Amino acid sequence: MNLTLLGFGKMGRIISSLALPTHKIVSIIDPTAPEATHKTVTAEALQNTDVVIDFSHPSAVLSNVGLVAQLKKNIVMGTTGWYDQLSAVRQMTEAAGIGFLYSSNFSIGVQLFLKIVERAGGLFSAFDQYDVFAHEFHHRQKADSPSGTALSVGKALLKTMPRKKEIFADTSHEKIAAERLHLTSTRGGYIPGTHEVFFDSEADTVEIRHTARSRAGFAAGALKAAQWLHGKRGFFTMEDYLNDLLKL
């Protein structure tokens, strides 16, 4: 494929190194990176592009998607923290007739972890003696909290455990209501990302954990998603990609 990287921070650089020599990076769009070929999205920048991979900044997502959609290029969106604008982004991409795939986390291991968590929630749901809660760790420079992946974990549990009605993603200064799923976060150091789910009773604890060793897993997943999205039209998530791969 011919790829354009929109945003050339840590993730953009890793994607670039993993993409070669299988794929060609035809453009790097970033307002400040010295390696960038263009500072903004233009027709020239996307001229020979098959798929745009965006790891820029949440504040730029709406503008970037609008410009790329006008130029009829498919987008893999790796930026998080913009989901309050999901409806507007979907309208733009569907109106343009392009392919768009987004995810809170592109790691294949994380996507399988989410399926395991969802299945586990359904199993433990039948046993009221088990409470469930979750925690995540990330490096101190991560901009959003809780992480998009942690929220996906929470949604997977709400989906399969009807007794949990809402996610409470803050420090609790009082007792946690039984219908709340407590989802907490730690920011510090250089941790790429760890997510944990606990099913706890008076007798025992069952713990499910995913630990990322580096950002390479996220980058590799984004490239896999771009390959899958190439030539497609529609609005997708990594779950669609995984379900297609697993024939679910």
Give the integer Cα–Cα distance in Å for 215 and 191.
Answer: 10
Q: Which residues share a beta bridge with 211? A: 194
Question: Kindly report the CA angle at 80 between 76 and 82, in degrees rounded to 5?
Answer: 100
Pairing status of strand 194-200 against strand 205-211: antiparallel
Here the tokens at position 219 are: 């980058």
Q: Is 173 a catalytic residue?
A: no
Answer for the pair 216, 201: CB distance below 8 angstroms, yes or no: no
23, 73, 142, 210: which is the annotated catalytic residue?
142
73, 135, 138, 195: which is the annotated catalytic residue?
138
Give the integer Cα–Cα distance in Å for 77 and 63.
Answer: 13
Burial class (CB in 10 A: 0-12, 13-18, 19+), 8: buried
Q: Is 138 a catalytic residue?
A: yes
Catalytic residues: 138, 142
